Each structure stands twice: as C-alpha cells, then as structure tokens.
Amino acid sequence: MSDRKSPTDAAGPNPVGAISRSRFRFHRTLLASACRAAILAGTAVASTALQAAEPPDTDITLAPEPYRYCVVCHGVELMGNHAVDAPRLAGLPAWYLSRQMTAFREGWRGTHPDDVNGMEMRPQATVLSPEQVDAAVQFAASVPEQPHQVAPGRVNGDPVRGETLYQACAACHGDAGEGNEALLSPPLAGQSDWYMVTQLRHFRSGARGAASGDTQGAIMRASALALPDDQAVVDVVAYINTLNTAQPQRGETAMKKTAAAAALAAGLTGAAASAEVTRYPLPNSDFPIAQAVEISAGTTIVYHSGMVPRPANPDATRYTREFWGDTETQAMSVFSRLEESLKAKGLSFGDVVKMQVYLVGVPELNGAMDFDGFMNAYRRYFGSDDQPNLPARSAFQVAGLAAPGMLVEVEVVLARPE
C-alpha cells in the first residue's frame, strides 16, 4: 500500500526512537478516549485516570495502567488508528491477543529491521510485567467491536479475484473470516485492511513469521508465500473487506441514514436489491480515479445534474475572476455544494461511480484548463484516507459554461448503497 500516512512521513526516514517520540506527542491528544473506551467496556477507571492524562513525552510506557496506553495508539474504542499504523484490537479474542503479546515479548515480532510498526509495539509489551500483560489482554478482549467505528476500506483490489484466492485461507480463518481457536488462526473479518496488507507482505518477506520459535507465524508464512504475487495480497484483502458486514464502504453508513427510504424502496420493488459495486484500480498508477466501476443488476442508480460554483465573493463585480474565484476555489465550491445535495438524498461521495468534469481554460495558462487546480480540490474528496472510493472519471475542456467566468462544472452518477 502506498497510502501509509504517519505524522512522521513528511520528515522522511527517521531512526525508530525519533518516530516513537513524535508519535507519543501526537498520541497525547487522544488520551481522553482511553477513559471513554474503558467506560464503554465496563472497566473500572481509577479516578486518577484523568489527572494522569498528561504524562511527559518520555515515560508514557511506565504508566501503571497498561490498558490506558493501548487505547492511545490503538484508537478510540480500540478500533485501530491508521495514523500510527496500530490495528484494531476490538473484537479480537483473548487467546490471540495473548499470543501476540508473547510474540512481541519473545521478539518474534518487532525485531526485524523491516518491521518498523512492530518495533513501535514491541516496547509496549516488553515494559509490562506478565500480570500487566494479562490485565491489558483482558481489557482489550472485553472491548466489543464497534461496527459504527469501522473505518472505510482503503484497499483498492479486485475482490472477485480475492474471493478465489481466499478459498485457501478459509480452512484456517473460516469461511466468514471469523477465526478458529483450535488452529490459533485469528479472525480477519473487520480487521483494518491496510494492516492486513502490511502483515501479509511481512509474512512473505520474512519480517514476520520467520523467527525461530514462532511456530504459528511460520504456518501463516507458508500460506502467505503461496499467494502468487503482491497484487494477490491486495486482492485477497479486498475480498476480506467484503466479509465484514459493517464495512461502510459497502454503504452501511448511508444505509442507516436512509433506512426508512431503503425499506420503502424494497417494499415498492418487491425485492431487496443488493448493491454490488466493484472498482477496478488504474494499473500501475496512484492517480485517484478508477479504471472502471462495475455495478451489479438490481442496484439503484442516481444521476445527478451538473453542479456549478457559488460566487466566491458575491460583492465583487459580477462574473469577474474575483467574483467566482480561480479554478481551485470554484472546484471547492462545486464539491461542497454537491456534498450538501448528496447528503440530503442519503448519499455521499463514497457512492459516486462515475464523474464528468467540465473545465474552462484560463488566461494564465494560455487558455488551457487549470487541471492541477481542479485536482487540488478533487483530492480532498476522493482517494483520501476518509474517502477512498474512486469513480471512473473523464475531464473535458469546454469553451464556456452557463455564466461568464464560470470555470468548473461537475456531474456525477451514484450507486445507492443497499
């Protein structure tokens, strides 16, 4: 995956110590969530927890209550935090959590030079006494899965190919990715997809699963090595994403908002339509559009009219550049208007499957369209961490739009989530 984002990315490669320090500073802002998760989990929170919420940057790992610090990295309600590469722990069973704590303590995980994220985790496990590890594991295992907190899928693979590949995984991880205690194979459904991609790559390279003593890791490593190529890693994870019924990428969030409308629609058509949207990534490119989007029969399609900008400065002389703003400003306005309109219909940018973009040329670029200016606005809504779903898209330069000075018009087609 090329979309790893950490607070340290901008600073380039860092020694691990430096990464940890800057991340801890970042984590401090998340400390309040620790208490919230503990309360949700029904765990007694010492009354000092809040007062202790401002530890110095350096000795955070020495804190007496181990579970508080798990939440700091692993996110609100332990649902994972991509910003610090910490996976979801909520919903993982105690036997697996406990085994992984052992793996970190034994150095099976978090010692290989390529396993930078494991190195972030390892000291969290080694600093604790065995009793504290048990307490932390019991805490993590008691935090229920929070379906509403599941981050949208980020992986842009081919779930159809992934389904075929997953047949080999199901023997241990279960048909529905539910895991299998007898085989010490963890649940996969609902796990953060970016994390699974990294783990599979690490199993393949030997950064995980190759250490002597790590018998379960070695078993999994053999399966990972049986995947034919790196694309297979992404494809199988794209399929695992579909096993999680709470995956918002599949339209869960919007569905809740429009439950009444959806029920009505199902009643009217007499059959519950199932929205299957498959997005084919652009080969060998991270440009944020899809090569193609496939929609199964029975999906409700919504055609949205072209949207033009609001004036950036309504007091300026009409139709001037100052009145409308430049291409980027106009595009931002178009997207925010579109967002409002979609929201009102129980839809969001994640449901867009096709987009047409019309741009007018600008004098600064000798009459050519300001494609970069448009892309600056587009990237804020498509291909971001929050909204990874990419539409098939075309962009055209046109001679003019409805009013003089308008530079941007965007129309979209959407697949209404099931």
Q: Which residues bind ligand HEC (CB under 6 A)?
A: 66, 69-70, 72-74, 84-87, 89, 92, 97, 99-101, 103, 109, 115, 117-118, 120-121, 124, 136, 140, 165, 168-169, 171-173, 183-186, 188, 191, 196, 198-200, 216-217, 219-220, 223, 227, 236
Q: How far is the CB of 170 from ligand HEC (least distance, A)?
A: 8
The H or E element spanning position 254 is helix 252-257
Query: What are the beta bridge partners of residue 409?
Result: 358
Q: What is the DSSP string of 222-291?
A: HHHHTSSSHHHHHHHHHHHHHH-TT-GGGTHHHHHHTHHHHHHHHHHHSS-----EEEEEPTT---SSEE
Give whichever of 41 and 73 is closer to ligand HEC, judged by the CB atom: 73
For residue 146, the minimal CB distance to ligand HEC (Å) is 16
Burial letters for 271-284: b for 16+ Cβ neighbours within 10 Å, e otherwise?
eebebbbbbbbeee
CB of 254 to ligand HEC, least distance (A): 28
In angstroms, give the least distance from the CB of 131 to ligand HEC. 12
Q: CA-CA distances (angstroms) from residue 268 to 250, 263, 285?
A: 22, 9, 42
Helix boundaries (H) for 107-188: 116-126, 130-142, 159-173
3-state secondary structure of 317: coil
Whole-angstrom distance, CA of residue 78 vs CA of residue 96: 15
DSSP, residue by residue, 65-114: -HHHHHHHHH-GGG--BGGGTBPP-TT--HHHHHHHHHHHHHTSSS-STT
| 129: three-class secondary structure by DSSP | coil
Q: How far is the CB of 418 from ligand HEC (least distance, A)?
A: 25
Closest-CA residue to 77 (of 148, 2, 158): 148
228 or 283: whose CB is closer to ligand HEC? 228
The nearest distance, CB 48 to ligand HEC, in angstroms, is 18
Q: Which is nearer to ligand HEC, 11 or 183 (CB)?
A: 183
Q: Return the number of the residue (63 or 264) whose C-beta is nearest ligand HEC.
A: 63
Q: Give the residue with the Cβ less far from ligand HEC, 71 or 375.
A: 71
Give dist(CA 142, CA 149) in Å, integer: 16
CB of 388 to ligand HEC, least distance (A): 19
- Nearest approach in angstroms of CB 383 to ligand HEC is 23
Measure the CA–CA gap between 81 and 244, rounded to whole angstroms.
18
Answer positive or negative: Cα dihedral of 336, 340, 342, 346: positive
Quick one: 156 or 199, whose CB is closer to ligand HEC? Answer: 199
Distance in Å, CB of 217 to ligand HEC, minimum? 4
DSSP category for residue 22? H
Q: How far is CA 295 from the centre of its chain?
A: 22
Q: Of 416, 289, 294, 281, which Cα lies nearest the Cα of 355?
A: 289
Nearest to ligand HEC of 168, 259 (CB atom): 168
Under DSSP, is residue 377 helix (H, G, I), strand (E, B) or coil? helix
Least separation in angstroms between residue 103's CB and ligand HEC is 6
Amino acid at 9: D
Q: Which is nearer to ligand HEC, 72 or 360 (CB)?
A: 72
Q: Tell me the closest approach of the beta carbon of residue 331 to ligand HEC, in angstroms.
A: 36
Q: Report in angstroms the alpha-carbon separations of 259 from 3, 262, 345, 417.
A: 33, 5, 12, 11
Residue placing its CB nearer to ligand HEC in the complex, 117 or 333? 117
